[in-house]
Chain A
Amino acid sequence: MTFLSYLITGISLGSVYAIIALGYTMVYGIAKMLNFAHGDVIMVGAYICFFTMSRLGELFEPGSLGAMVVPPLAGTILAMVVCTVLGVVIERLAYKPLRQATSLAVLITAIGMSYFLQNAAQLLWTSNPKIFSSVVGTGKVELFGGQLGISHVTIVTIVACVVIMIGLTLFTGKTKMGKAMRACSEDKGAAQLMGINVNTTISVTFAIGSALAAIAGVLLCSAYTTLMPTTGSMPGIKAFTAAVFGGIGSIPGALLGGVLLGIIETFAKAYISTQISDAIVFAVLIVVLLVKPAGLLGKIMPEKV
């Protein structure tokens, strides 16, 4: 039974990684850049949701149905809107001028953007940690006569993760914009010649990635309730690892990588040692990359001459 409860903890942690990893992997797949500021967009989303919830929460009677539904919903939607705008603005201001620059220059800009967001958050909202109240309450579902408890947050996170993944797969497979994205990811130059607006496509990618970041931020802070300007950075790095693990650029890969990473981390803590759990996670990553250099579901694209 403890094994099952660890498995659930791992999947829940992994689903949060997976949602963040989806943002990384989409941007990488289409713009071929590592957006290290992604983790910090998560943090901004969580702050927006936190403030909306605490402002709106005062308008409703505590415990009423309105108080349970409206503030979390409004907070999440507002966080998505703000993050979408933020993501597009970041792309326009910081990354678009560097479209022709070397990938190293873009990478450094992304790291700079990450620090900029962290410090801006510190100025705006101070660095005192805030305790986020879960968007779905603190209840849990009990199974096997109470021996196994699954919190609502865990269920919502897993469901959200699966829904988002299916939605994204359909979007990139069926819609016009999705096809444009895939075309851009294959060959930007050729896509442009075919009449695809590459800049718009990349902006839309950033918009979707940042909206996902907002959802990830809300779910991350619902599960692990402290919110600080640095809240997004470590999950961001772990999610990036998950994206590489699953095969960067692949949407199902991000989900698989995220969930596996969460499970390995939890099991390593539980059955090997809490002291070296992170080392074990990264050791597994190294082994996987040695055996499958493109990640679990990644494709190796042969260089066409």
Chain B
Amino acid sequence: MKKSRILSLAMAGALCIGLLAGCGSSNDSGDAQSPAPATGSPEVSGTPAGDTTASTSGAAFKLGGTGPLTGAASIYGLAAQHGAEIAVEEINAMGGIQFELRYEDDVHDAEKAVNAYNTLKDWGMQISLGSVTSKPGEATSVYNYQDRIFALTPSASSTAVIEGKDNVFQMCFTDPNQGMASAQYIAEQKLGSKISIIWKNDDVYSKGIRDTFVAEAETRGLEIVYEGTFADGNDTDFNVQLTESQKAGADLIFLPMYYTPASLILSQANAMGYAPKFFGVDGMDGILTLDGFDTALAEGVMLLTPFNADAEDEATQSFVTKYQEKYGDIPNQFAADAYDCVYAYKLALETAGCTPDMTAEEICNKLIEVFPTITLTGLTGDGAGITWDSTGAVSKSPKGMVIQSGAYVGM
């Protein structure tokens, strides 16, 4: 009895030592690099050419992100991962700043996202692409803040992701911005006068958009005639919400939600023979690539999105071509946002004069200073350029899009 206890203690001890040794070695490699920047970084910031020394020595910035690579929201995660991969390849081929990209799966789940984040941290992530979706983004951004690892999320649009965190920035519009822009757009283009909203009341994303939409609609004189909600587990039958909208005489239904429930709403409205205008937000992006979805149902659906794959400028065209060659589909805005994120990092790191041998915290401090000052001409900026304020919110102009014969067309 006693012997076995001693044995188990010894085993446990050995395990602990093993763990500590594991931590130690990863810390060591981190520490071993950190003395270098003290001598290296001043030179580099003096001359941009110094960047090449980083690449010739093979050192690259470790860039990590979490996103749903599997699961119901994988369409977003995979798009962001692919978009970022293309940007990293392009940038690495240019010489100069080099990136090493790693994406971890979070299955659109806050708890798994934190695990994924920790995996990236152990790997030695220096800068982060945050999380792709809002719920996980709210969870990981807290750790980004605590650990002083700078994050620029392509698409986690809830305000809670950036609120009170000086080192977390967004590439997408915040949810309130989407709601406001949608209401403005509908009012300016006179798309509808009697509006019905169907939103998901257990989802921060949906609620955030709905709240500002309602506020903005009121100031713009849009009449909201009906509001219906749904929640997880209650998200298949929309007959009641649609019948009530119809009864209230709504000529436009605003759908601040992801595309899966939206596809059901479209097909049930069609079955009812009710054909109002449908107006979606960025979560609607992806509906056309749903397996087996009859795209005729989405004919005339409008949405605000920062990216249009049909745009004719050279940057968009080359991105779309590369994406299609590599992954076989047309990139959506998540891919474009992630692509822009990597380029924003390139620009910011160059401006700040960071080198890959700096610690995450040193890079973080520099980027916090630099980000509000840069202007990126990206794919999602509509030519006007993308800027940030010091809260981490982005400023860029959205594009109105409409679905016509199975494709997104600019309005």
Contacts and interface: CB of A to CB of B under 8 A. Distances in A.
B240 A266 contact: yes
B292 A127 contact: no
Interface string A94-113: 00000000000000000000
B271 interface: yes
A229 B231 CA distance: 18
A262 to B, nearest CB: 9
A234 interface: yes
A127 B273 contact: no
A145 B267 CA distance: 23
Nearest to B293: A131
Given A224-B264, A226-B263, A274-B229, A129 B240 contact: no
A133 interface: yes
Most buried by B among A9, A133, A225: A225
B201 A122 contact: no
A224 B264 CA distance: 7
A126 B229 contact: no
B155 interface: no
Given A226-B260, A277-B234, A130 B292 contact: yes
Contacts, number: 88
A181 B244 CA distance: 47
Nearest to B270: A138
B83 to A, nearest CB: 18
Contacts of B70: 122, 126-127
Contacts of B74: 126-128
B72 A127 contact: yes
A199 interface: no
A122 B105 CA distance: 14
A13 interface: yes
A13 B263 CA distance: 18
B237 A127 contact: no
A151 interface: yes
Given A126-B70, A127-B74, A128-B75, A149 B243 contact: no
Most buried by B among A129, A149, A266, A278: A129
Interface footprint category on A: 20 to 34
A274 B230 contact: yes
Contacts of B75: 128
Contacts of B241: 269, 274
B278 to A, nearest CB: 17
What secondary structure prevails in chain A residues at the interface with B?
Answer: mixed
A6 B247 CA distance: 13
A6 B291 contact: no
A5 B291 contact: no
B291 A128 contact: yes
Interface in B225-267: 228-234, 236-237, 239-241, 243-244, 247, 260, 263-264, 267
B291 A130 contact: yes
A274 B201 CA distance: 10
A131 B294 contact: yes
Most buried by A among B74, B234, B290: B234
Most buried by B among A128, A133, A277: A128
Contacts of B12: none
A295 to B, nearest CB: 22
Contacts of B263: 129, 131, 225-226
Contacts of B294: 131, 133
Contacts of A151: 271
A131 B234 CA distance: 18
B67 to A, nearest CB: 14
Nearest to B202: A275
Contacts of A149: 272-273
Contacts of A5: 239, 243
A278 B230 CA distance: 10
A129 B293 CA distance: 10
Contacts of A54: 292
B288 to A, nearest CB: 11
A138 B267 CA distance: 10
Given A9-B239, A129-B72, A234 B233 contact: yes
Given A54-B292, A131-B293, A266-B240, A225 B234 contact: no
Contacts of A140: 271
Nearest to A224: B236
B244 A270 contact: yes
A115 to B, nearest CB: 14
Of all A-B residue pairs in the complex, the 9 with the closest CB atoms, nearest first, are A131-B292, A224-B236, A234-B233, A269-B240, A130-B291, A131-B293, A9-B239, A274-B229, A274-B228
25 contacts: A2-B243, A2-B247, A5-B239, A6-B243, A9-B237, A126-B70, A127-B74, A128-B75, A129-B72, A129-B263, A130-B292, A131-B291, A131-B292, A132-B292, A133-B294, A151-B271, A224-B236, A225-B263, A225-B267, A228-B260, A234-B234, A237-B233, A270-B240, A277-B234, A278-B234
